[in-house]
Amino acid sequence: MTDSTRNTAAARVGDCCTSSGATVATDAGWLRATRWARALAWFSLVWMGIEGVIGVWQGSATGSIALIGWALGSVVEGLASIIVVWRFTGARTLSETAEHTAQKAVAVSFWLLAPYVAVQAVHDLVTAHRAVVSVLGMAIAASSLIVMPVLGFSKRRLGARLGSGATASEGVQNYLCATQAAAVLTGLAVIAAWPSGWWIDPAVGLAIAGWSVWEGIQSWRGDDCC
């Protein structure tokens, strides 16, 4: 592939941002940004794997649907990371078709989480199920409050630089993870201090499900690009 062809193909990748009148500059910096996007996706994948295993384990042990929902969200975010790695590997790096496919796939990953969390949350509300506070679960959730916003900010900037809705949407999922973690921590803290507030945990679960559906719609439409 010649440099001229490479730049032309890369310019087409940025078409999802042309609605704002901007085009994506394609140069050596753009290609470096693709490598950064792939590296951050790999880092996220490893982090989410650890986070998801511990979260599901502790959520199941304590009966916290919010903690389980947050942990399953980590699994979904891991899928989004795999999609971004796929998007920026090999010839797909300069493929407009790959970008559109990745963006749709990330949108679907948002929707995978919602049904399980919503059904379980409603069940817990109806049966007045009470979650038990988990110190380890709270610790892993607290770590996300530090790591996820940094990843989310970086990926959103990279998404704008690359004209990649898939990368930007992956960053949104990192923000979503941090917000979920904050909600989980708040709910568990309230339960510890006020047992009658048991309903907060499934309520957080419902909020997580609703937000996941909304973000999936935004990603599918391409609204998260730039």
Q: So what's the pLDDT on residue 202?
A: 81
Average pLDDT, the chain: 79
Domains belonging to the chain, first-starting first, are 26-221 (1.20.1510)
Q: Alpha-carbon distance 202 to 6, whole Å?
A: 50
Rank 110-119, 158-167, 187-196 by mean pLDDT and report only the highest. 158-167
pLDDT for 25 equals 54
By percentage, how much of the chain surpasses pLDDT 90? Answer: 15
List, for residues 96-144, the tens digit of each pLDDT value: 788 888 888 888 888 887 787 788 778 878 888 776 767 887 888 889 8
Q: 205 pLDDT band (50/70/90 cuts)?
A: confident
pLDDT tens-place string over residues 69-106: 778 778 778 888 999 999 999 888 888 788 888 888 88
Q: Which of 2-11, 27-36, 153-162, 211-220 has the lowest mean pLDDT?
A: 2-11
The residue that leads in pLDDT, 148 or 133, is 148
Residue 194 has pLDDT above 60, yes or no: yes
**pLDDT tens track for 29-40:** 888 999 999 999
Rounded to whole angstroms, the Cα distance separating 51 from 141 reads: 8
Query: HEC profile for the chain?
Result: CCHHHHHHHHHHHHHHHHHHCCCCCCCHHHHHHHHHHHHHHHHHHHHHHHHHHHHHHHHHHHCCHHHHHHHHHHHHHHHHHHHHHHHCCHHHHHCHHHHHHHHHHHHHHHHHHHHHHHHHHHHHHHHCCCCCCCHHHHHHHHHHHHHHHHHHHHHHHHHHHHCCHHHHHHHHHHHHHHHHHHHHHHHHHHHHHCHHHHHHHHHHHHHHHHHHHHHHHHHHHCCCCC
pTM for the model: 0.72
Burial class (CB in 10 A: 0-12, 13-18, 19+), 130: middle
